[in-house]
Structure 1
Amino acid sequence: MNAAPSSAAPQNYLGGIGLRLLAMASLSLMFVLVKYIDAAGIHIVESLFWRQALVLPFLLVWVMATSGLPSLKTQRIGAHGRRMMMGLTGMACNFGAMILLPMAEATTISLSVPIFAVIFAALLLGEATGWQRWSAVIVGFIGVLVVLDPISSFAGGFGGTHGLGTVVALTGAIMTALITIAVRDLGRTENAGTIVFWFSLLSMIPLGIALPFVITPHDGHEWLLLIGLGFLGAVVQMSLTGALRLAPVSVVIPMDYSSLLWAIAAGWWFFGTLPADTTWVGAPLIIASGLFIAWREHRRHIDRPKEVAA
């Protein structure tokens, strides 16, 4: 969620960093539940439905305690609808990648989002992008290619679970980058809570239509998994949003790379998997690229002191 922090909100960099770290740890635990839910035979559409439906009550409580329910009014329902469709597609791909791939590998590919965001910002928003950021993009792409291991994947015809998983993960990263552009546009007129609320609420329409075709009876253990998925989804969403209220994007975004550490630990602890050799080589390139892009964004705001950092 890359909306600008409210100008009225007190800035607390350590608090913002702490919330972003909490979001990354919670995200990894949420993806552990995604894998367990899939192993229980629950359809991904149902997982998405409960993930979104159970976020709404927590979100409404948070909005009432902060900006108030009137802040949820919007004049841009069409833009929220487009963001919802992109958001659901990206979320489905991210869930699918976690199901099909080891957690560390899927997480590493997802860390390429800043690389694609630079490209789309230049192409769609006409943002000036100098040779330094383009160089970082190229380095990051090399890292992505190493992780994807296209020679081996091509030799295998991108077949099997792993080949499909890499395609799904890359699609999720591209969609998430497009979402950052949509959210940046919405952030001109809407606060963060409003954007999250309408995404969650509007997604109930397509998911609710599809739910009767995939829903199955659940025992108590499965319901606990689904409730945990919704709860952790709420923690992730509110922590991400809260972090951006307390500190600028350029300060908190580098904390996202801690998700790889959590993914490696969770993958080993819960599933007995460790990253592939190509992941150990490609991940540092992707992380270095993303950190440089974040640093350049930070420098741009320092060089433009009259503008509000976003």
Structure 2
Amino acid sequence: MDDQLTTLSRVLERTDDRLRAAADGAARVWPTGFESLDLALGGGFRAGSLALVAGPQGLGKTTFALQVARNAVCAGHVAVYFSYEHDPEDLMQRLVTLEAGERYGVDSPGLDKVRAAFEDHTNSASLDDRMTGLRGGDEALKAVRDYADRLHIHRSTGTSTDLEVISSCVEEVWRSTGQMPLVIVDYLQKVKVPTPGLSDEDRTGVIVESLKDFAIDGEMPVLAVVASDRAGIQAGKRMRVQHLRGSSALAYEADVVLIFNHKYDVVARHHLVYDIGNAERFHQWAVLTLEKNRQGKDGVNLEFRKRFEQSRFESDGHMVTEQLVDERLFQD
């Protein structure tokens, strides 16, 4: 999009017009649905902002991103999920599992059982009948159907899904729904760039700058999952913003940077030595650090219980009370 020169008077006029339109005026902040995180962010992800989420492999980055999308559409917003890692059917199964978990907790069927019900090719029963056979399955399926029209999923590939495709899809959603969506890119480093032969650093710079411009021009939030470099995925090491692949561009352009770590990996040694029972408990929690926050305070450490068998985090997290360190000082 071409640069646009405007006066502050025109900005005031546009703002006033937007606020007078109730539907448009309400969509300036998209809550994540994680109450403690929304409190730290001043309500959620803001229009025109680029947020990044990172963490070690297997610590729930996709789980978190999909749960944020689900929470947004449950609140009446629209979301577009660009998935470079998972097909739409897989995401749908995760959402059904999540909804069952929200209703029945640890007594709900896990993702393995939901997948088995979906993928049993010897069974000719309908989707509804298959879900009725699982505890809470029928309620979970109904919940997904209730917001299914507001959650758009794009099966993206690193060979064809570039920023132009992303922009075109978002515009299509906006025209069909009348709402600017929350945009989720999973994950950033797989977005195709038009210039071949760039280094990882330069590719990441092109993508993150374009996504930031895209968020500003579209007046919507963009949440992107990002990968770490080799140093950031070492066992027992706390991931920080400098460990993200293309970290200089990511740290500069992003408005919000969220980084997950295993709680067990980042608590100070004395919490483990003097209470061995903490080791098992800490394995059940993930620490989400608000490393950068142009919307307010940063350096905030929150913790959320992992319920990955139910494809979710418990959303009622809280501040970490234990002392954290940069690297694990206690070994199994």
Greater RCO (Cα-Cα under 8 Å, separation 6 or more)? 1
Scaled by the length of structure 2, the TM-score of the pair is 0.29
- Structure richer in helix, relative to its length: 1
Scaled by the length of structure 1, the TM-score of the pair is 0.31
